């Protein structure tokens, strides 16, 4: 079934791993943690336990680097039975600060696509995570002038997108979301009658994964590169 | 000079210490940290050093509890010359989680004022800090239905408010901000031609303090209680 994009007024872009690299840095940080705690557990076990800790703390800390580091510290204390050194914990704080201050690595073709689309649509950034982090990344990215504004959502579920549309004062069929996460950027939009285009990134956080069944029968397109979007929209 | 409120369309409310108690909890947490680190320094010195650490980390962490706890941990490691125990650090993580999960204590008269104002104005929450924290507090407060939406600003400076007005698509004279911080909720608004009413809270974070000179000649009103706002607006 062909998707009807003819009513689109506003296009929302996910930021992390859609406009620029992000998940890669979390994977690298997890690898460093594995090394820092290698005294206590195997890298595989540490990975699993860190994921569990993050999910346990998600309702309290939400998304973003700061909660990630707090979970990392809590895990280090737990796995070491309260014996982990201040040196290791200091390094964890440093890993967090480095992550926050990483330069922005844009994904291929992003500025060109935005430059074209901004002529015909109102573009916004719709992202999860920490407001300050995301604003800073947008500033550093050089992309800020293409966007009307940035919307940071605490979660990307149907209810959050419904609020967003109310706030933008548009109907679902007038909104197109573009992002790399099926769970966060695609499924909830299709479910509320909006449009969504999936641009996969090579790495997906465990928490963002969905099964093939979840997408069965849902009417959305997947592209290999964000550069394909302009021709899809005509 | 009488302030002209006749064009107001949107009223922005600061949240922490304007709608509900917040700063008090940070002061209590600082007191607990003082006790936890009393082995290394006097409470007064710890207070000063924690403030310095927070300000040093503000560009990286921004506002909110998570950055506060990360700064607290960094300080503990530093003040103890890398010898602070895992038990103390665990307690700091607990203090943070407790702060995030505190029940909401509304300030006097808040629901009544919002109930009255929401009939004639579009009300929004305009707050600094962590989006998830602020959304959660708003949910818990029972006030959410009075507000059109929540705007979380990474900073509350003139540029951030100018962006907000652009986003709301209104002129400065159509916006009234209500809050407890002269620095964040009042001065930048007056400077961009918007309206602002100051409702002081008994405790002000050092970082939010301004000198008498900063407010000289600026045209805004101060009220003792938020309940006075309805009669001011007529």
pLDDT tens per residue across span B126-180: 998 777 788 889 989 999 999 988 888 888 999 999 999 998 899 999 999 999 9
> Chain B contacts of A93, Cβ < 8 Å?
70, 73-74, 77
What are the DSSP calls for chain B, one per residue? -----TT--EEEE--BTTTB--HHHHHHHHHHHHHHTTTTS-HHHHHHHHHHHHHHHHHHH-SSHHHHHHHHHHHHHHHTTS---HHHHHHHHHHHHHHHTPPP-BPTTHHHHHHHHTTTSEEEEEE-S-HHHHHHHHHHHT-GGG-SEEEE-S--SHHHHHHHHHHHT--GGGEEEEES-IIIIIHHHHHTT-EEEE---S---GGG---HHHHTT---EE-SSGGGHHHHH-
**What does the pLDDT read at residue A162?**
96
ipTM field: 0.84
Tell me which residue in B86, B96, B152 faces A84 most closely, judged by beta carbons: B86
pLDDT over 70 percentage in chain B: 99
Q: What is the pLDDT of residues A150-178, one digit of tens each?
A: 888 888 999 999 999 998 899 999 999 99
pLDDT at position A1 over 70: no
Q: What is the pTM of this model?
A: 0.85
Q: What is the pLDDT of residues A17-50, one digit of tens each?
A: 999 999 999 999 999 999 999 999 999 999 999 9
**What does the pLDDT read at residue B209?**
76
**What does the pLDDT read at residue B162?**
96
pLDDT over 90 percentage in chain A: 78
What pLDDT band is residue B210 in, cutting at 50, 70 and 90? confident
Interface test with B, best of A59, A63, A66 (most B CBs within 10 A): A66
Q: Give the residue on A whose Cα is nearest the Cα of B88.
A: A82
Distance (Å) from the alpha carbon of A169 to chain B's nearest alpha carbon: 11
What pLDDT band is residue A146 in, cutting at 50, 70 and 90? very high
> Chain A contacts of B69, Cβ < 8 Å?
70
Please indicate whether, in this complex, the C-beta atoms of A152 and B131 are within 8 angstroms of each other. Answer: yes
Q: What is the pLDDT of residues B58-80, one digit of tens each?
A: 999 988 899 999 999 999 999 99
């Amino acid at each position: 079934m062909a998707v009807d994009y003819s009513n689109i007024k506003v296009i929302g872009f996910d930021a992390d791993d859609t406009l620029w690299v992000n998940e890669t840095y979390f994977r690298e940080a997890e690898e460093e943690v594995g090394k820092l705690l290698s005294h206590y557990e195997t890298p595989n076990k540490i990975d699993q336990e860190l994921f569990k800790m993050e999910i346990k703390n998600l309702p309290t800390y939400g998304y973003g680097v700061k909660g990630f580091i707090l979970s990392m510290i809590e895990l280090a204390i737990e796995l070491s039975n309260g014996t982990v050194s201040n040196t290791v914990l200091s390094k964890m704080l440093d890993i967090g600060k480095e992550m926050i201050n990483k330069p922005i690595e844009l994904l291929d073709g992003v500025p060109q696509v935005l430059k074209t689309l901004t002529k015909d649509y109102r573009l916004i950034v719709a992202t999860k995570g920490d407001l300050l982090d995301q604003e800073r990344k947008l500033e550093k990215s050089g992309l800020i002038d293409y966007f009307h504004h940035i919307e940071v959502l605490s979660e990307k579920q149907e209810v959050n997108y419904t609020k967003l549309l109310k706030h933008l004062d548009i109907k679902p069929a007038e909104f197109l979301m573009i992002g790399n996460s099926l769970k966060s950027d695609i499924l909830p939009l299709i479910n509320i009658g909006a449009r969504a285009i999936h641009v996969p990134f090579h790495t997906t956080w465990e928490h963002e994964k969905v099964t093939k069944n979840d997408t069965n029968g849902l009417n959305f397109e997947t592209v290999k590169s964000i550069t394909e979007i302009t021709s899809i929209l005509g």
